[in-house]
């Protein structure tokens, strides 16, 4: 039987943690954790497609309820030990078709999860959130895409969605439009402070707060300061922002593999000179790369170059 997998770094090594279990969790088949956020060594929240588990400094506990629609499962970020935000989307589909997607945004107040409301233009006909970043309990930014609902279906494209929490309410923000009217879903966001965020999405789109378009690409980004950010774009490498422009970087190829045989999907930068990117390397059977035999991949950026780390 599949179960939740949780590992913890103690400063020297990774160890597998005792994961919470319950008949309800086992029967739901919901056994994949997709996002985690920690504000200290004694406070973490991890999110699956319908469940939340919490680290209290000594053990992981399964919270006794699912999130509102049971299907957010995109991202979680904590501004403090008693304030976290989970963001995602929900779309009901029946045999006759699918309803417009709706935003699922929840806030943890230290005791329970509360459904959040977001103001939208009257014309909107669907929206979804894909990422959230909180620099404090009073400053969070969530990003995704929304359908303006004012165009013909064959030419309609989603446009970037940005909403911001100021400690008491959520407000809708309008990021810049990109060239030629191309739509773009924002996929990831990092906010090192209350006045600085970077969001990256499809269509080679990157945004910087206060929002203006820049040239960049990536599927994960982390900014240790207001002026330094590193993004990874999955298959082809990394990009780095150093206050004025994005520059491309090549990550280290795992031994025996070529570009396309590995994927980087997450990044954390504890300082401007150190970043850790994680993902999957596909080593095939009998030494044939690219077949479906995944292995953990960890890469480390240190000041000037990327290197493979033991995992």
- Identify whether the C-beta of residue 2 lies closer than 8 Å to the C-beta of residue 31: yes
Q: Go through the chain and tell me how many residues it has.
A: 311
Please tell me which residue, 166 or 32, carries the higher pLDDT value. Answer: 166
Q: What is the mean predicted confidence (pLDDT) over 271-299? A: 75
Instruction: List the single range of 21-30, 72-81, 120-129, 283-292 with lowest mean pLDDT.
Output: 283-292
Kindly state the tokens that stand for 273: 């000179």
Sketch the domain layout of the chain as residue ranges: 7-223, 224-311
Indicate whether 244 pLDDT > 50.
yes
Q: Give the confidence band of 187 by pLDDT, cuts at 50, 70, 90.
A: confident
CATH class of 7-223: mainly beta
- At residue 215, the pLDDT reads 47
Kindly state the tokens that stand for 266: 């997450």
Indicate whether 205 pLDDT > 50.
yes
Partners of residue 133 on adjacent β-strands: 141
CA 213 to chain centre: 20
Q: What mean pLDDT, rounded, does the chain reach?
A: 77
- At residue 213, the pLDDT reads 46
- At residue 6, the pLDDT reads 84
Please tell me which residue, 7 or 154, carries the higher pLDDT value. Answer: 7
- State pLDDT tens for residues 86-134: 988 766 666 665 566 677 788 989 888 888 888 766 666 677 888 999 9
Please give the Cα distance from 295 to 311 (Å, whole number): 9
- At residue 256, the pLDDT reads 80
> What's the predicted TM-score (pTM) here?
0.84
């Amino acid at each position: 039987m599949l179960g939740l997998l949780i590992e913890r770094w103690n400063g020297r090594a990774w160890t597998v943690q005792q994961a919470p279990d319950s008949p309800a969790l086992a029967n739901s088949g919901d056994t994949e954790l997709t996002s985690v956020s920690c504000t200290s060594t004694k406070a973490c929240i991890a999110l699956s497609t319908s469940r939340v588990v919490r680290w209290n400094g000594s053990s992981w506990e399964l919270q006794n309820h699912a999130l509102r629609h049971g299907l957010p499962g995109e991202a979680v970020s904590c501004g403090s030990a008693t304030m976290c935000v989970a963001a995602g989307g929900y779309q009901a589909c029946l045999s006759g078709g699918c309803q417009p997607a709706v935003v699922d945004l929840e806030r943890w107040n230290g005791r329970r999860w509360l459904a959040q409301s977001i103001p939208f233009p009257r014309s909107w006909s669907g929206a979804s959130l894909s990422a959230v970043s909180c620099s404090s309990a009073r400053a969070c930014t969530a990003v995704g895409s929304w359908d303006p609902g004012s165009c013909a279906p064959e030419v309609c494209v989603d446009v970037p969605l940005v909403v911001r929490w100021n400690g008491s309410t959520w407000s809708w923000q309008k990021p810049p439009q990109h060239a030629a009217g191309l739509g773009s879903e924002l996929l990831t966001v990092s906010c090192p402070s209350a006045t600085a965020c970077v969001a990256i999405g499809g269509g080679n789109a990157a945004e910087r707060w206060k929002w203006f378009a820049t040239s960049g690409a990536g599927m994960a980004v982390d900014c240790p300061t207001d002026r330094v950010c590193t993004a990874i774009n999955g298959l082809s490498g990394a990009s780095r922002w150093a206050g004025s422009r994005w520059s491309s970087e090549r990550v280290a190829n795992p031994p025996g593999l070529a570009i396309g045989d590995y994927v980087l999907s997450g990044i954390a930068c504890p300082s401007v000179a150190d970043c850790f990117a994680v993902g999957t390397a596909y080593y095939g059977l009998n030494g044939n790369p690219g077949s479906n035999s995944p292995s953990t991949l960890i890469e480390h950026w240190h000041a000037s170059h990327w290197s493979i780390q033991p995992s």
